[in-house]
């Protein structure tokens, strides 16, 4: 038998997963990725089609798996968002489809969603403004028992993801609209209004991953409040007496957003909330 025949009969050489992960962690760390080990493991799990927790049961990669994993790590090292590479973003108990053109939901927004879930009584009407992927709206639909959830988004690209994500939740109604339009959602009254608007002041430096999000979903004008101001006025019109509103904001707005809610004059119980790092993150109020 000649050498060529012998070569083709041999099984492909598998690469140790531990070595591939170690190399990936070094590369991602050098690129400034904040969680290199977690990201490397999630990319490996994605390539292998298993959960991250089951990586312990895998000891090696086939050549094609190693090639794909190496390519994904290189993309992540270029600071392509991890969620774009995976095609999904985890949010509370959900896996949401994400990609170019839609804001990737962040873990800190889970706090606002959790507050909204706690305040959603069975049969309640909930509106999620600046819905993006639908993260907040779908979390409420998934974990509470609302009668109706209205998810509002104006971006055509984001609407595409929102509609796909919302397809599994009949209670969620997707509405194309601009939250700065004072006539938005005419005739609707709601029990709970939630909003994660664009709120980063326009001159603020952001990480490379955030810079890949649509600018209109990140930046809220020079002071970061360009969208929040009309959202508060809209909330005062839409929320029924006794209903509640929750608005996420930048960590520099810990005093400004609660003060805007108080200054409107139609809200009581205005409360500032911090995130898990102790930074100001969202404000809530009750409609008088």
> Where in the sequence numbering do the catalytic residues fall?
103, 196-197
182 is an annotated ligand-binding site residue: no
199 is an annotated ligand-binding site residue: yes
277: left (phi over 0), alpha (psi -120 to 50) or beta: alpha
Q: Which residues have CB under 8 Å from 18's CB, separation 6+?
A: 59
197 is an annotated ligand-binding site residue: yes
The answer to whether 198 and 206 have CB atoms below 8 angstroms apart is no
- Selection from 212, 251, 227, 231 nearest residue 103 by Cα: 212
The answer to whether 232 and 182 have CB atoms below 8 angstroms apart is no
- Selection from 234, 136, 226, 137 nearest residue 185 by Cα: 234
- Residue 235 host element (H or E): helix 228-238
105 is an annotated ligand-binding site residue: no
In Å, how far are 31, 89, 190, 200, 278 from 234, measured between CA atoms? Answer: 43, 29, 11, 20, 29
Judged by DSSP in three states, 16 sits in strand
- Selection from 98, 127, 112 nearest residue 217 by Cα: 98
282 is an annotated ligand-binding site residue: no
CA atoms within 13 A on the CB side of 235: 35
d(Cα 222, Cα 69) in Å, to the nearest integer? Answer: 41
Q: How many CB atoms lie within 10 A of CB 31?
A: 15
**Feature table: binding site for S-adenosyl-L-methionine:** 153, 196
**Feature table: binding site for substrate:** 196-199
**Feature table: binding site:** 153, 196-199
């Amino acid at each position: 038998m000649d050498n060529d025949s012998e070569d083709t009969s041999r099984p492909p050489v598998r690469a140790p997963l531990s070595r591939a992960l170690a190399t990936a962690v070094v590369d991602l760390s050098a690129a400034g990725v904040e969680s290199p080990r977690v990201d490397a493991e999630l990319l490996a799990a994605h390539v292998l089609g298993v959960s991250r927790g089951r990586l312990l049961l895998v000891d090696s990669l086939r050549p094609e798996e190693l090639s794909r994993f190496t390519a994904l790590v290189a993309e992540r090292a270029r600071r392509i968002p991890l969620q774009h590479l995976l095609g999904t973003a985890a949010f509370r108990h959900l896996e949401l489809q994400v990609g170019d053109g839609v804001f990737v939901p962040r873990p800190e927004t889970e706090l606002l969603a959790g507050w909204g879930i706690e305040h959603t009584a069975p049969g309640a009407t909930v509106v999620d403004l600046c819905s993006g992927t639908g993260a907040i709206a779908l979390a409420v639909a998934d974990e509470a028992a609302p009668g109706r959830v209205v998810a509002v988004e104006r971006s055509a690209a984001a609407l595409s993801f929102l509609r796909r994500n919302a397809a599994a939740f009949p209670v969620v109604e997707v509405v194309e609209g601009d939250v700065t339009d004072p006539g938005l959602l005419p005739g609707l009254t709601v029990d709970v209004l939630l909003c994660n608007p664009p709120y980063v002041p326009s001159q603020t430096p952001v990480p490379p991953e955030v810079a890949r999000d649509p600018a209109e979903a990140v930046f809220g004008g020079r002071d970061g409040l360009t969208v929040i101001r009309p959202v508060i006025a809209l909330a005062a019109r839409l929320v029924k007496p006794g209903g509640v509103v929750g608005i996420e904001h930048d960590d520099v707005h810990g005093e400004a957003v609660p003060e805007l809610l108080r200054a409107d004059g139609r809200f009581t119980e205005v409360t500032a909330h911090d995130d898990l790092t102790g930074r100001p993150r969202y404000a809530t109020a009750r409609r008088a």
